[in-house]
Amino acid sequence: MSDTQSTIAARAQGGDLKPGFWRDLVAKEDWWAIWIALAIIVVSYGLFASGSSIKWLAVAPTKWTTLGEAAADLGKKLPQYASLFVVWAVLFGVSLAIIGHRVSRFLVSFLVLFVVSTLIFELGAWANASKYNLEPPLVALVLGLLISNVVRLPDWLSAGFRVEFYIKVGIILLGATLPFTLLVWAGPVAVVQASIVSLVTFGVIFAAGRALGLDKRFAAVLGVGGAVCGVSASIAIAGAVRAKREHASVSITLVILWAIVMIFVLPFVARALGLPTGIAGAWIGTSEFADAAGIAAAQAYGDLAKHGDAAIAGSPEAALQAFTLMKVVGRDIWIGIWAFVLAIVATTRWEREPEADAVAQGGAASTAFRARVGAGEIWARFPKFVIGFVLASALVTWVASHYSLAEYRSVVTPGLVAPITALRTWAFIFCFFSIGLTTRFGTLAKTGVKPFLAFTIGVAVNIVLGYVLSVHVFGTYWTGLGQ
């Protein structure tokens, strides 16, 4: 029996699970991501409950239209940015020191990373940023790719490119912005329609990807990227199934590409068909692939009704309301469901298949090997930060349960959720800038056209399915929205 098989057998029998478990709580990156993110959430809630907020520290740029306004905003908030850098540096630095990394090299590199990330975040606050889909994480990825493929970076700088660490912290913070209570508030129609779309779109893209020869993990990232909320879902699922870093990058690129196309296509087609605002908003919410792009499309359609387009029935607000119920609430909440389910599938099935196949060459040893891979090994492989995601969501669900939907939006969102969302955005910028800085264009080019084909097939099914559900199945509900 090999050393690897011996270790698996020992874990499965519980031989080193307990000491390994307690040691891992302070020696593994997954657990430190949980401690850091949950600490942020608990502190945020403590301040919120006492009538205060973590807003000052969770600094984010203010919308600007001129470079002068951007510079003034940056200068005004300089103490907040400096304080946030210190907090991030301490949280990441202490955890990395305990894990066993050289903190001095990390801190110097992280300072460079933070300064550039601040400028990227500031660019995302440009008044026209949403028009061009300049989401900070996407800008960070593109900028990182350009730098890494044009300039040779010094070796010491790589110490701060902790891609997996930043992803895990960001995903757990993402959980705090998606309380399960949102499903109840969305109502049964929105939940059912969102669930149908999520399941069918994922299944189509995953099946198409596998038929085209894509790796299961890559197909899963593409599938959830199209089925739920592109950018956040791609990040979360790539981490949950331990996909390659370029898989998330390709998925996000495809999401953004089709999201931009749909900004123009969906309102135009909805106008040509004379769809009421509520139905059009639901269709956009079902068929768009990014929140910012979908909001722009729904708002544009609502504005047509607002400005007196006689062919469009319904209140202007209904388009945005229906979109929010379908996309921001109904579909986005599926991020947690897919992350948890696919993490289990990847751990219990996908990760075992290559090893089981290798052992199968030894004949009867295969059955014994499979028997030894029990709960201990599954636990050892399971991405622990997914547990952090669920805990974060459960905590904010408990908080949200004390409020109505209107109170949640007016009280909880600005006081608790919005600051956590800002910190989540920081973590994602760190992550995707680091991915870009450590990725070559040649790596992305190796993926070929197959991911595009698989995703595009899902896009076609998504649009048709969304239209049928929004117009013919649940049309009465969406028509009456806002009336």
Q: Is 394 exposed, middle or buried (0-12, 13-18, 19+ CB in 10 A)?
A: middle
**pLDDT exceeds cutoff 50 at 341:** yes
Measure the CA–CA gap between 288 and 225, rounded to whole angstroms. Answer: 11
pTM: 0.67
86 to each of 47, 402, 449, how far by Cα in Å? 19, 34, 43
**pLDDT exceeds cutoff 70 at 379:** no
Q: What is the pLDDT of residues 73-99, one digit of tens each?
A: 999 999 999 999 999 999 999 999 998
**pLDDT exceeds cutoff 70 at 57:** yes
> Among residues 97, 76, 172, 141, which one has the least CA distance to residue 392?
172
Instruction: Please say whether the beta carbons of 280 and 319 come within 8 A.
Output: yes
Q: What is the pLDDT of residues 271-283, one digit of tens each?
A: 888 888 889 888 9
DSSP for residue 190:
H
Q: Is 15 exposed, middle or buried (0-12, 13-18, 19+ CB in 10 A)?
A: middle
